[in-house]
């Protein structure tokens, strides 16, 4: 019986586990549930970016017109691009 040999590696920053065959460095596959990856890696990054953008929008220069506060569209684009 010959079993396929695989090397398993864990990313210390994200906890994501990848597997590959010995000597094959370009074709790793992600092991485990994709929902776990989303919860541990993708969603925290999205939340952090969202918070940073909202903080920048809150701090942006605002105009008052008829009792309503507005931010110039050009300022919004600059914030989102940065």
pLDDT in tens, 17-64: 878 777 676 666 666 666 776 777 778 888 888 899 999 999 999 999
Residue whose C-alpha is closest to residue 17's, from 25, 9, 26: 9
DSSP alpha helices (H): ranges in the chain?
34-37, 43-59, 73-81
Provide the pLDDT for residue 71: 93
Provide the pLDDT for residue 1: 45
CA distances from 78 to 20, 22, 54, 72, 81 (A): 42, 47, 13, 10, 5
Say which residues have a Cβ less than 8 Å from residue 7's Cβ, sequence separation at least 6.
Answer: 19, 20, 21, 22
């Amino acid at each position: 019986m010959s079993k396929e040999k695989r090397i398993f590696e864990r990313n210390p920053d994200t906890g994501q586990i990848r597997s590959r065959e010995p000597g094959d460095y370009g074709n790793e596959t992600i092991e485990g549930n994709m929902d776990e990856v989303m919860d541990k890696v993708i969603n925290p990054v999205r939340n952090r970016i969202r918070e940073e953008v909202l903080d920048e929008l809150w701090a942006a220069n605002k105009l008052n017109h008829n009792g309503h506060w507005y931010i110039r569209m050009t300022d919004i684009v600059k914030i989102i691009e940065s």
